[in-house]
Chains A and B, each alone.
Chain A
Amino acid sequence: MIKVRNLKKAFGPKVAVNDVSFTVEKGEVLGFLGPNGAGKSTTMRMITGFIPPTAGEVSIGGHDIVAKPIEAKRLIGYLPEAAPSYADMSVLGFLNFTAELRGLSGDAQKKAVNRVIEMCFLESVVHQSVETLSKGYRHRTCFAQSIIHDPEVLILDEPTDGLDPNQKHEVRTLIRTMGEKKAIIFSTHILEEVEAVCSRAIIIDRGAIVANGTPAELKQRSTLAGAVTLRLTDGSANAVKGKLDGLTAVDRSVIVSESPLIVRAFPRKQIASDDLAKAVGEVALKERWSLLELSTEAGRLDEVFRSITLPDTKKEDAK
């Protein structure tokens, strides 16, 4: 549905987005990750046709966004970053206006407006003017606008920004259910969101794609992935560490904390995490450690994110 090829945007000498390519098919939810200023919003603005690319192509459902903007824009629902809406309009007036611009009229328009009011929990404020609304309501009003024509492509720039935890949960559920039938791109810097909602994630840093895969695949790039963590009631941290280091499967182990006592063992290369867990379990039984917990780490997205997107100088410091 969404094809992005070698997309580039330069503002004067500053390159905001450089050679970005990816595709999103129907039924996919693509998470767009990156630090602030990485070029997420700029990329989304090019995909939705708000700003023209310096080079490269965007095609939506086969329509080029530059050559056939009207046809392409018809297929897109867009929630801009600041969730703007006309302050002097009522929520109902605003939704009716956007529905009309989307070419809806009569019964279909009424139905569409009622549907999004219900989906976005706006019943209690429909007659209020947008400027009197709290941030969360304003945000949902703009979100409602983006799905009013039941678009095949949905571009959401930080859809959960400024919402309370309950609302965040609602919006995530909404995105996940809609993602079964639509092609969705959404940007965020909340990493749990990516795991909860996305079928695929792209990490973008300084205008270029630095990682692209399912959340599980990305997590495996974490140094933590495959490590086994032990939590014990008592005992000497160094004794436990010494025993673990003695195992052939263990590359190295670290004491995470002394009290409560937590020790983590990292596998050698080529060692499956299950084999490591088995070996650690055996030694624990033999030594009669009073074990509270033994778990295998799946890897953490935030760690992957940090290691990929930190500037090189800082990466050196972190080591």
Chain B
Amino acid sequence: MKPILTIAKRELNGYFASPVAFVFIVIFLLLSGFFTFMVAGFFERGQANLETFFTWHPWLYLFLVPAVGMRMWSEERRLGTIELLLTMPVTPWQAIVGKFLAAWAVVGLALVLTFPVWLTVNYLGNPDNGVIFASYLGSFLMGGGYLAITAMTSAMTRNQVVAFIVSVVLSLFLILAGFPPVTNMLVAWASPWLIDGIAAFSVMTHFESIQKGVLDSRDIVYFLSLIVFSLFTTSVIIRAHRAG
């Protein structure tokens, strides 16, 4: 447990020593504010909920989360520090989890810093704070899912740009598989059970159901297993890379 914390602490310091964490947080706050108030018309709708705020998260994360996570392993490989890290008395799994938790904490911090939106909606009306809490949790889990995918792609290459692009594409697939415009298009020629089956793999389906305020165990299990599966694949990639 201690090595995980030591590694996570170092990673967090790294995020804040370089501008990565600040840039991510500032851009995330600016964009989520812009989309909520200017594009989706939070005030004009006159509804006391944060639907207009959370709707954009899958799309914001699509570009911002890979930007946070792309250096996770590719930087280790580029600098050669992976050789140092993995010859320390730590297991690869401890290193993977430590790095992931640090990046996830940055995402979580950005989410926490959106609290003025929550204050605003509570000042203006009487929203269902249970739904808002569930949506925050769902958003955090979704961010973790994207991040785990980015961890996996960044273990594949020493080039951060490649890691970024591949994880954006993978994440985009996870969005589109359950994105209504895409699924509606498929309805014409695919059987419904196939579409539902594919949509079950989508972050959209699960995030939307959490956004309704229902913390269904299936949705939580989905995000957690997405994280565990991606991190497990990360460990396989790292082992394969070392074996040469």
Interface residues in chain A, defined as those with a beta carbon under 8 Å from any beta carbon in chain B: 9, 11, 45, 48-52, 69-71, 73-74, 76, 78, 80, 82, 84-89, 93, 97-98, 100-103, 129, 142, 145
B88, B91, B242: the one contacting A98 at CB < 8 Å is B88
Q: Are A84 and B89 in contact (CB under 8 A)?
A: no
Residues of chain B lying within 8 A (CB to CB) of residue A142: 84
**B80: CB under 8 A from chain A?**
yes
Q: Do B242 and A73 touch across chains, with their CB atoms under 8 A apart? A: no
**Contact flags (1/0) for B138-178 with A, using CB distance below 8 Å?**
00000000000000000000000000000000000000000
Given contacts A84-B80, A84-B84, A101-B90, contact A11 B10 (CB under 8 A): no
Give the Cβ gap from A302 to chain B, nearest Cβ, in Å. Answer: 30
Contact in complex: A80, B80 (CB < 8 Å): yes
Contact of B17 among A70, A89, A101 (CB under 8 A): A89
- CB contacts (< 8 Å) of A70 on chain B: these are 89-91
Known: A73-B87, A84-B81, A88-B14. A101 touches B244 (CB 8 A): no
Say which residue of B6, B79, B88 sits within 8 Å of A87 (CB atoms): B79
Residue of B nearest to A75 (CB): B89
Q: Which residues of B pack against A, CB within 8 Å?
A: 2-3, 6-7, 10, 13-14, 17-18, 79-81, 83-84, 86-91, 242-244
Minimum distance in angstroms from B2 CB to a CB of chain A: 8
A101: chain B residues at CB < 8 Å are 3, 6-7, 88-90
Which residue of chain B has its CB nearest to the CB of A71? B89
Residue numbers in B under 8 Å from A145 (CB-CB): 84
Inter-chain contact B84/A80, CB cutoff 8 Å? yes
Report yes or no: A88 in contact with B83, Cβ–Cβ below 8 A. no
B189, chain A: closest CB distance, angstroms? 44
Asked whether B89 lies within 8 Å of A89 as measured between CB atoms, the reply is: no
Residues of chain B with a CB closer than 8 A to A71's CB = 89
B95 → chain A, closest Cβ, in Å?
10
Measured between beta carbons, the chain A residues less than 8 angstroms from B244 are 9, 11, 51
Instruction: Write the chain A residue with the least CB distance to B239.
Output: A52
B10 contact from A52, A76, A97, A103, Cβ within 8 A = A97
CA distance A73 to B87 in the complex (A): 6
Q: Are A93 and B242 in contact (CB under 8 A)?
A: no
Nearest Cβ on chain B to A143's Cβ, whole angstroms = 12
A121 to B114, CA, bound (A): 47
Residues in A with CB closer than 8 Å to B80 are 80, 82, 84
Whether A84 pairs with B88 at a CB distance below 8 angstroms is no
Q: Given the complex, which residues of A lie within 8 Å of B17, measured CB to CB? A: 88-89, 129
What is the minimal beta-carbon distance from B97 to any residue of chain A, in angstroms? 14
**Chain A residues with CB under 8 A of B88:** 73, 98, 101-102
Residue of B nearest to A85 (CB): B81
Residues of B within 8 A of A49 (CB): 86-87
Q: Which residues of B contact A103 (CB under 8 A)?
A: 2, 89
Complex contact B14–A84 (CB within 8 A):
no
Known: A52-B242, A129-B17. 16 other contacts (CB 8 A): A9-B244, A48-B87, A50-B83, A69-B91, A78-B84, A78-B87, A84-B80, A84-B81, A84-B84, A85-B81, A85-B84, A86-B81, A98-B84, A101-B89, A102-B88, A102-B89
Question: B79: shortest Cβ distance to chain A, in Å?
Answer: 5
A47 (CB) vs chain B CBs: closest residue: B87
Residue of A nearest to B18 (CB): A88
7 cross-chain CB contacts under 8 A:
A69-B91, A70-B90, A73-B87, A73-B88, A84-B81, A97-B10, A102-B88
Kindly provide the distance from the CB of B168 to the nearest chain A CB, expressed in whole angstroms. Answer: 24
CA distance A60 to B121 in the complex (A): 62
The interface residues of chain B lying within 8 Å CB-to-CB of A82 are 80
Which among B2, B3, B10, B91 is the interface contact of A89 at CB below 8 angstroms? B10
Q: What 3 A-B pairs have minimum CB-CB distances, sorted nearest first?
A: A84-B80, A73-B89, A100-B6
Complex CA gap A86/B86 in Å reads: 14
The answer to whether A52 touches B243, judged by C-beta atoms less than 8 angstroms apart, is yes
Q: Which residues of A contact B89 (CB under 8 A)?
A: 70-71, 73-74, 101-103
- In the bound complex, residues from chain A placing their C-beta under 8 Å from that of B87 are 48-50, 73, 76, 78, 80
Q: Which residue of B lies closest to A73 (CB)?
A: B89
- Collect the chain B residues with CB atoms within 8 Å of residue A45's CB: 83
Q: Which residues of B contact A100 (CB under 8 A)?
A: 2, 6
Report chain B residues within 8 Å CB of A80. 80, 83-84, 87
